[in-house]
Amino acid sequence: MTTFLRNITAGNPRRIFGPVLLTLLSNLVNIGPFVLILRGIQLLFRGFSGPEGTMDLAGLTWLCAGLAAYMILIFLAELPAYRANYRGAYLVAAEGRATLAEHLRRLPLGYLSSRDPGDMANMIMGDFALLEQALSHFVPQLAGALIMPLLALVGLSFLDPIMALAMFFALPLAAAVMAAATKLLRVLGRRHMKAKIGAANRLQEYLYGIRVVKAFNLTGSRFRRLERSFRDLMNESIRLEGTIGPFAMTAVALLRTGLTVMVLVGVHRLLGGRLDPFVFVTFLVVGSRVFDPLTLALINYAELRYAEQAGERILRLGREPVMAGTEIPPESASVAVRDLSFGYGDVPVLHDLSADFPQGSLTALVGPSGSGKSTLLKLIARFYDADSGQVLFGGRDVKELDPEALMERISMVFQDVYLFQDTVANNIRFGREEATDGEVIAAAKKARCHDFIMKLPKGYDSLVGEGGCTLSGGEKQRLSIARALLKDAPLVLLDEATASLDPENELEIQKAVDSLVEGRTVIVVAHRLKTVCRADSIIVLDKGRIAERGRHEELLARDGLYARLWKIQQESLGWSLAPAPLQGLPV
């Protein structure tokens, strides 16, 4: 029961104690009308069975008045229970979503990359929605379903234990049937959850890749992956409902046989003179109502257990260890890597790297695609922890440093820029939330994006579409550089910062990058080698190893990999797209 409560409340069982207590109080209040009705039946029996004129009209009048007054009492008891149940359910979900999102932010990036994005979205929204439904409806319903029959069994046992036993004889059988369905429900529930996550992933893939889908005419009947995932979800839903449904209906049928058996036993004992008619009527009145909450609880039992599985998934993710480290980073922003090796799963990327990035220097990482440049940058930022070796920040191993405090000392411009669905000013202000409007504008001017911002309909107050879809690639890149400038961190990591910039702005951005070097450590990944000619040091990576290092002129003189890459890029400057010659004409 403890595990069930923790799962169904996403680890906050105390949140439902108040709502459940109020629900139980409300159920106890709801017993009152039955007592009054039974008292009325007793008065009617006495009136009709006694001498003429013995009907207690005054007592019946008071009972009617009592029933009318009791409606107000029921309302006063139901209202706080209703509010507490819904408020408690949505509070558990709201706090749980925020807590889980914060936990995700502190997890290693490698863990998040290994999970499907649809899985994370479904867990934060869909799984918590299941818990909301369970806590606001099924848990209070279950509490009422348990307390009402229990009180009825105790109370009726005092009237006639044989009749009470006849009424509830099938209850253990119904419970056994649902217990047998529980293990099967867990297996089918996991399969259904997997199908639901698969459908969410395919839908997300379809929406994000809609341009590719349209460009390659993958719409309609040719795009089968999305359709197949929806059909898998349909089949698993039918299998879940079709398999568990008969168990629930069998349990309900067994439960309802108790009323039939009670009537048969009652009639037999009534005809034999061993049962008072009033007692028999009492069992009929109570029996006609006491099984309703139990029947509803049994029907919804599968959904309650399914919601528990959702809570179990949430708690499992919440137990994933966050990145370790508690020390405050040193003032020095020098960076060094020692015997660094790293791979994504079973795919090795970096091999025994050792390099120094002195404070206040500009170091460029160059090399062919897939050589590990961006991966090294992510290890320095501690998006991942190395498989072996060390990353040192100010001479301290980053694994010892508090990840939050470390990120405060780092500004990073990503190759793939993501902008939030907010104003331009607020997107720049992500670099430093407390920055003034003047500081935001100054950073934008330094990143050479002030002019295009002022051409937007509302300037800095213009809304940016989700992911920055309303801006060009170069505009997004410059806004990202403005963020880094505003953050003013001692270590700046630039991952292809000029990749999406047009030639006329490239020189201006280089000037902005140059202004970051003074007193800061700057590490830049670049494919355009001409943008890093003036770097203090250039490290050439090839297949996860350092092939060369030195300044631009030194590397050209060695005539190695860097010189070959430089020559290829210089030759590509004269490349153009020429039309094919017309057939039959001389070239």
User: What secondary structure letter does DSSP report for 401?
Assistant: B
Would you say residue 468 lies in a domain? Answer: yes
For residue 52, what pLDDT is reported?
Answer: 59
Could you tell me if 237 and 126 lie in one domain?
yes
Could you tell me if 293 and 417 lie in one domain?
no
DSSP state string for 208-220: HTHHHHHHTT--G
Would you say residue 399 lies in a domain? Answer: yes
Could you tell me if 43 and 14 lie in one domain?
yes
What range defines the domain where residue 244 resides?
2-318
Burial 520-554 (b: 16+ CB within 10 A, else e): bbbbbbbbebebbeebebbbbbbebebbbbbebee
Could you tell me if 192 and 245 lie in one domain?
yes
For residue 582, what pLDDT is reported?
Answer: 47
- Domain end: 262, 286, 318, which one? 318
Would you say residue 327 lies in a domain? Answer: no
Could you tell me if 353 and 296 lie in one domain?
no
Would you say residue 149 lies in a domain? Answer: yes
For residue 77, what pLDDT is reported?
Answer: 80
Could you tell me if 90 and 158 lie in one domain?
yes
Could you tell me if 7 and 73 lie in one domain?
yes
Q: Given CA atoms 379, 384, 388, 393 in this order, what sign does their dihedral have?
A: positive
Q: Which residue has the tokens 């670049």?
A: 526
CA 254 to chain centre: 40
Rounded CA-CA distance 270/277 in Å is 7
For residue 272, what pLDDT is reported?
Answer: 83
Beta carbons within 8 Å of 283's beta carbon, 6+ residues apart: 156, 159, 160, 163, 167, 262, 266
Would you say residue 192 lies in a domain? Answer: yes
Would you say residue 579 lies in a domain? Answer: no
Could you tell me if 312 and 437 lie in one domain?
no
> Residue 277 belongs to what H/E stretch?
helix 277-299
**Average pLDDT per run of 10 along the chain, which is 587 residues long?**
79 79 78 73 69 68 80 83 83 87 83 74 84 83 76 83 88 86 86 87 79 68 76 90 86 86 89 82 79 80 85 88 86 90 88 90 89 90 88 91 88 80 88 88 86 88 74 80 86 74 62 66 84 86 91 90 86 58 47
For residue 411, what pLDDT is reported?
Answer: 86
Pairing of strands 491-495, 410-413: parallel
- Domain end: 268, 283, 318, which one? 318
Could you tell me if 312 and 342 lie in one domain?
no
Domain total in the chain: 2
> Residue 350 belongs to what H/E stretch?
strand 347-357
For residue 31, what pLDDT is reported?
Answer: 72
Would you say residue 534 lies in a domain? Answer: yes
Could you tell me if 137 and 26 lie in one domain?
yes
Rounded CA-CA distance 560/567 in Å is 11
CATH code of 553's domain: 3.40.50.300
- Domain end: 318, 345, 380, which one? 318
For residue 481, what pLDDT is reported?
Answer: 83
Could you tell me if 220 and 357 lie in one domain?
no
Could you tell me if 486 and 525 lie in one domain?
yes
CATH code of 314's domain: 1.20.1560.10
Would you say residue 328 lies in a domain? Answer: no
User: Are 244 and 183 in contact, with CB atoms under 8 Å apart?
Assistant: no
User: Are 92 and 12 in contact, with CB atoms under 8 Å apart?
Assistant: yes
CA angle 53, 58, 61 (to 5 degrees): 120
